[in-house]
Amino acid sequence: MNMETMFLKAEDPQALLLAQSVLAAGGLVVFPTDTVYGVAARAFDGAAVERLYAAKERPVEKAIPVLLGEAGDLEQVAAEVPPMALTLAARFWPGPLTIVVPKHPNLPEAVSATATVGVRIPDHPVARSLLRAAGPLAVTSANRSGLPAPSLADEVRAQLGGRVALILDGGRTPGGAPSTVVDCTGPEPRILRAGPVGREAILACLGLDSFPEA
């Protein structure tokens, strides 16, 4: 895999249009999020998502989360949105909470081979602008599997240069812990990965005294 990788400042007036064009053509775009840099493909383009796996050398059995620009986009990627998922989204989005919901049948198997998909809205202006313009994107950290997740665009270029079409440089990202992951597909929520949104905050939001550990 060896292609020319374009490198552009995120504030460049052409950045958003170019990113949309690359994604529409099935290419991969890297942009900053509220945690680390992410590499993205259009969520409904199965071939593009497969290229994302190849660029990262990511095991295909690991599902890729879908990022949204607005909470209203959730219905595009979820077959049925459980009420508890809507409650959590209203409280914690945009922010570091990934909510696992039943997967919409239109989502390709490359995004998730299971009946579920993880979704969230990142709290970052560049990411939100692109997601609003391009629609739901399959996004994972912009590193080769096994290497550190990058907080700088130059770190992305060192790992994925020649493997992605476009890198948008938005400066240093906040870094920190990956998002909390909560499964909302059962009768009670389950925390699949601990993160910035703690168990007590989730309990309080849902009005629960407790729920089972994953």
CATH of the domain at 112: 3.90.870.10
Residue 3: which pLDDT band, with cuts at 50, 70 and 90?
confident
Instruction: Please provide the average confidence, as pLDDT, over all residues in the chain.
Output: 94
Q: Which run of H or of E encompasses 85? A: helix 83-92
CA distance 103 to 107: 7
Residue 211 lies in a domain: no
Residue 106 lies in a domain: yes
At residue 182, does pLDDT exceed 80? yes
Give residue 1's pLDDT. Answer: 63
CA distance 21 to 84: 36
124 Cβ contact partners less than 8 Å away, ≥ 6 residues apart: 32, 33, 34, 94, 170, 173
Measured on CA atoms in the order 83, 104, 60, 29, is the torsion positive or negative? Answer: negative
Give residue 61's pLDDT. Answer: 83
Residue 126 lies in a domain: yes
For every residue of 140-186, which 3-state class applies, written as one string?
EECCCCCCCCCCCHHHHHHHHCCCCCEEEECCCCCCCCCCEEEECCC
Tell me the mean pLDDT in the region 92-119. 96
Q: Which residue range is the domain that position 10 belongs to? A: 6-206
Q: What are phi and psi of 116, to 5 degrees?
A: -125, 165
At residue 211, does pLDDT exceed 80? no
- Number of folded domains in the chain? 1
Give residue 117's pLDDT. Answer: 97
Give residue 213's pLDDT. Answer: 65
Q: Please give the share of the chain, as a percent, with pLDDT higher than 90.
A: 89
Residue 214 lies in a domain: no
CA distance 74 to 87: 13
Tell me the mean pLDDT in the region 39-62. 94
The per-residue pLDDT for range 25-39, each reduced to its tens digit, is 999 999 999 999 999
* Tokens linked to 192: 């699949």
**Pairing verdict, β 180-183 and 29-32:** unpaired
Residue 174, amino acid: P
CA distance 165 to 23: 9
Give residue 163's pLDDT. Answer: 97
Residue 157 lies in a domain: yes
Residue 1 lies in a domain: no
Q: Please give the share of the chain, as a percent, with pLDDT higher than 70.
A: 98
Residue 213 lies in a domain: no
The per-residue pLDDT for range 113-161, each reduced to its tens digit, is 999 999 999 999 999 999 999 999 999 999 999 999 999 999 999 999 9
